[in-house]
Structure 1
Amino acid sequence: MGLLDQVVGALAGGQNGGGNTQLIQAVLQLINNPQIGGLGGLLGILRQSGLGEAADSWVSTGRNQPVSAEQLQASLGDSLLPGLAAQLGITPQQASSGLADLLPQIIDHLTPDGRLPQENQGDLLTEGLALLKKGGLFG
């Protein structure tokens, strides 16, 4: 069973998704990190590292382009992945693999109108966790 299937299972009341829910929460905290510059800052990092087309597809209303764990490792590697991995008690490779599955979907759901939310529209972490609790993040 893939990571996404485990997350969907967790949202549906499955038993094996606890760590994946933690990964989703960690991704939302990463997006909301003021040192990164929020969602726009994270997208900027991805664009600068060559993942701009894929990242822009996650924001747009069209189909999300996939990224590989290796691409995210190269893009976020030494700056963000070690801290995320340490927070979750997993390796940076496991973190990048989880991000490859989750990040496109999380960003897609945080930008339903095909554009970044305005800064004054509220806390993305709160909005994302609310989506997660309602089961709407992957539904």
Structure 2
Amino acid sequence: MFESIGWSEILVLAVAGLFILGPERLPSAAAWVGRNIRKVREFASGARDQLKGELGPDFDELRKPLQDLQRLRSFDPKQIVANQLFGDDTNGTKQNGFSATAQPSIPPVPPASPAVKPDPPKPTSGERPQIDPDAT
């Protein structure tokens, strides 16, 4: 409900309420707001329970498109990329069908020994040295 309100905004509202209402009326006003929010939540949950009781199994079918819309509304591409790159795979199977815990069945290939090149012959006087193509 208050997802977009941070602690700094709540602090600003409390300070503004302190100046507007004064220190003697602020606690009673905060209690009044808390009671009314609780009543609204109770009314909403009661209406949802009543609707769920009347519709029965059709309620879940009605709720699914609303949940899909809510998921689209809270779409965060940064979070999705971070989950794909750094997220923990809880069920062990990735979206591409490969298991995260499966080890490859191909045995690792031992590293090849480096090829030893013979030293090039030393140039005689007046002869140009050979050019090493790997060095250029």
- Please give the TM-score of this superposition, normalised by the length of structure 2: 0.23
- Please give the TM-score of this superposition, normalised by the length of structure 1: 0.23
Structure whose CA Rg is larger: 2
